[in-house]
Amino acid sequence: MKIDFASFKKPKPYETDSKSFWDDPHISKHMLKAHLDDHHDAASRRPHIMDAACLFLKNTYPPKQYPRVLDLGCGPGLLTARLLEKGYDAFGVDISKRSIAYAKAQFGERYFARQDYLNLDVDQRYDIIVLMYCDYAVLSPNKRQRLLQNISRVLKNDGVFVLDVFTPQRFKDRDERKSWVMQDESFFSPNPHLLLESFYRYKQDLFLEQFIIIEAARWDVINNWHQTYTLKRIKDELNQSGFRVLKYYADVTGEAYHAHSETLYLVTEKS
């Protein structure tokens, strides 16, 4: 096994990783387990938060006036299922084969499709499009622009696009660091491996959580990027792609925005 030691240097912004994260047999199994764990927010938000988010959406944009909802990056369908229960005609898409298989088995095959939302292929237009748990901010600028173009194409002219993003408060107390850990098994691999975990800070409120997994016969790099946003920055970026912010909150439950909030929840329309 030949190791490229250049990979141990601080990556350039939005440098891609080497591992297919979502459909790796081992990682996707642990990712689904994390989605379904009610005790933390590692993959999906906890049930009471999703319940509150759906109730807030229903009270603000009721299903009688906004019946069709598209849930982008739906994972195993936990939010989509709640939207269906609230009376919406909801449909969820996700790139993970394992998560979509779970969603179809649990909640109904016709409500879900395995898709990369960067190559969105749906035959309806929607009253509401949701992109939850800060998925937007893990994408590179070009991919964010591409996603917004897809959303604009399938969103009704009088519809709303809702999303949440992290603010710089999320990482304000984290310093750059590296740590080595030898593991027999972990979230990333079923085999003995050396895990190098790094955290990097960049200009313009960009952050990276990087994981390098070194095994006996192979090694992989996973880069988890986080673009964080001030209110002005996200408004400007959305406006450049043809979206206008109508309302904003501290989180998906509708709490009033405040200076120390780690998230921003935004309701937008096509401008």
| Residue in 226, 209, 229, 225 with CA at minimum distance from that of residue 168 | 229
The reply to whether 82 and 211 lie within a common domain is no
The reply to whether 111 and 194 lie within a common domain is no
- For 124, the domain range is 37-167+230-270
The reply to whether 163 and 211 lie within a common domain is no
Residue 183 is assigned to a structural domain of this protein: yes
Residue 103 is assigned to a structural domain of this protein: yes
CATH number of the domain residue 51 falls in: 3.40.50.150
Give one DSSP letter per residue of 128-188, joined into a string: EEEE-TTGGGGS-HHHHHHHHHHHHHHEEEEEEEEEEEE-GGGGTTPPPEEEEEEESS-SS
The reply to whether 154 and 198 lie within a common domain is no
The reply to whether 137 and 266 lie within a common domain is yes
The reply to whether 57 and 188 lie within a common domain is no
The reply to whether 197 and 237 lie within a common domain is no
Looking at the structure of the chain, the number of domains it has is 2
Residue 184 is assigned to a structural domain of this protein: yes
Paired strand residues for 211: 197, 222
The reply to whether 190 and 107 lie within a common domain is no
Number of residues that make up the chain: 271
Residue 32 is assigned to a structural domain of this protein: no
Residue 135 is assigned to a structural domain of this protein: yes
| Segment holding 97, helix H or strand E | helix 97-107
CB atoms within 10 A of CB 78: 22
The reply to whether 250 and 182 lie within a common domain is no
Q: Could you read off the pLDDT tens digit of each residue along the chain, which spans 271 residues?
A: 666 666 678 999 999 988 777 888 999 999 999 999 998 888 899 999 999 999 999 999 999 999 999 999 999 999 999 999 999 999 999 999 999 999 999 999 999 999 999 999 999 999 999 999 999 999 999 999 999 999 999 999 999 999 999 999 999 999 999 999 999 999 999 999 999 999 999 999 999 999 999 998 888 999 999 999 999 999 999 999 999 999 999 999 999 999 999 999 999 999 8
The reply to whether 154 and 199 lie within a common domain is no
The reply to whether 92 and 65 lie within a common domain is yes
Residue 147 is assigned to a structural domain of this protein: yes
Paired strand residues for 162: 130, 267
The reply to whether 159 and 247 lie within a common domain is yes
